[in-house]
Amino acid sequence: MQNSDINCNVLFSIIREMFFKSPVAAAICDTNGDVIVSNFSFQKLTDNKYSNITEILNINKDLLLQELKKNNNEYLIPKQDFSKINKNVPYVKARFYLMNLLNRDYISVVIIDITNAVYLEQKLQDEKVMLQKIFNDINDVIFMTDLKGIITYCSVSAEMSLGCNLKELIGKNLIDFIHPDDLSMPIDKCKIYVDKHPIVKNKTFRLKHKSGKYIWFEFSHISFLEENNEKIGTLIFLKENEEILKLQSEREKIYKELEYEKLKSEFICKVSHELRTPLNIIYGTVQLIELFRDKENNFVENFDKFFPILKKNMYRLLRLVNNIIDLTSIDAKNMGLHLQNINIISLVEDICNSVNHYLENKNVKIIYNPYIEEKIITCDVEKIERAILNLLSNAVKFSALCQ
């Protein structure tokens, strides 16, 4: 029993010695935060001027006890401004423990100087910002990826070239943007780099733009990102292949011109047919009128018979010519709009009423029943009238066919 007591005394002395001479600042306080005992490092850190831990660390006593009980009697402040207590140690972290000895609660606290770590973190952050600024000023497209190809960083030029924002790029696999036909080439090139063989320059491949089209790029540089002599990712510099982009642009331009010429040829062919039909009818009608005028006495009766056909095809021809003129104006970018504020409900009603008079003999009637009485819009009245008349004309034509 005596040996046991001696061993306990020795152990207590060792622990006491370790506590007071520890390079880490430590103290034991009551639940009010008043320091009961502290080691030399704590006294040096606080300049032995403060006796309450809540004042030293600028924290609320009740909040501290609440956090300790909520987190299994432990609580960590990862970063605290300490400059008011010690100008030479502006940043510290503090860890608290709630202990119960002889039915009484105590708070032990360990304070660690993290000033160097904070300054290093700030320096790294500043260097990161500077590096990003340098990368963003470079015209080349820059990607950082992990070893699986997941994008961890991209430059502004990458966003602009692919039409995507950061959220649409970060976290995605770079391989997913490569054209399927070009997929093996970039992977093979990376493998060549890993094996430390010379990289063939100016290898081109395509990356997918947000619009769905593919843009040609070529490798300009690949290097590994390392940490503790271990590869953790890649740094890839790409540049748009201007020669291929120029050819691609020329190809698209030629394709659009060919499409335009094709459409123009089809239009001319269709218009020629549309023009020929009413012209032939008008020509035939004129010949019949001339024939009846020379050989028969009932010219007026025959004229009344064929004149509506003549008039109908004349209007048809006029409408077709007007459409051609409009299309030409649109193509020449001379089609203007004469805008004015108008009650569209009233305008459409007037058009329908005017057409109804013409349709009385066709047993067709237009019923116009709007759910509102007035709606003012800005429009070109003439073009609205033509659009509505075209719709009604088609409706009447197919209604007549149904009958």
pLDDT tens track for 123-180? 888 777 777 766 666 778 888 888 888 898 888 888 888 888 888 899 998 888 888 8
pLDDT at 197 over 60: no
Whether the model clears a pTM of 0.75, i.e. scores above it, the answer is no
- Residue 126: half-sphere exposure toward Cβ, Cα within 13 Å: 6
Compute the 3-state secondary structure of the chain and give helix, strand, coil in percent, each to the nearest 5.
55, 25, 20
What domains sit in the chain, N to C, each tagged with a CATH number? 2-118 (3.30.450.20), 138-240 (3.30.450.20), 250-335 (1.10.287.130), 337-403 (no CATH)
Quote the CA–CA distance of 33 and 40 in Å, as a whole number: 18
Residue 164 DSSP code = -
Give the three-state DSSP class for 386: helix
* Banded pLDDT at 200 (limits 50, 70, 90): very low
Q: How many CB atoms lie within 10 A of CB 44?
A: 13
Exposure string (b/e) for 49-88, b if CB count within 10 Å is 16 or more? ebeebbebbebebeebbebbeeeeeebebeebebeebbee
Q: Which two tokens stand for residue 22?
A: 């520890």
Q: Assess contact for 95 and 75: CB atoms under 8 A.
A: yes
- Which backbone phi and psi does 370 adopt, to 5 degrees? -70, 150
Is the pLDDT confidence value at 4 over 60? no
User: Which residue in 142, 149, 241 sits closest to 191, CA to CA?
Assistant: 149
Question: What would the two tokens of residue 91 be?
Answer: 């940043």
- Provide the pLDDT confidence category of residue 272 given band limits of 50, 70 and 90: low
What DSSP element (H or E) covers 106?
strand 104-113
CA atoms of 288 and 307, how far apart (whole Å): 11
Query: What integer is the mean pLDDT of 90-99?
Result: 93
| CA gap 304, 286 in Å, rounded | 13
Give the residue-averaged pLDDT of 284-313. Answer: 67
- Residue-level pLDDT at 187: 59
Q: Which stretch of 31-35, 110-114, 333-337, 348-352 has the lowest confidence by average pLDDT?
A: 333-337
Check whether 109 has a pLDDT greater than 90: yes
- Residue 29: predicted pLDDT: 93
Cα 8 versus chain centre, distance: 69
Which residues, 6+ apart, have CB-to-CB distance to 310 below 8 Å?
281, 282, 285, 286, 289
Local structure of 139: helix, strand or coil: coil
pLDDT at position 207: 87
**Stretch 176-194: mean pLDDT:** 69
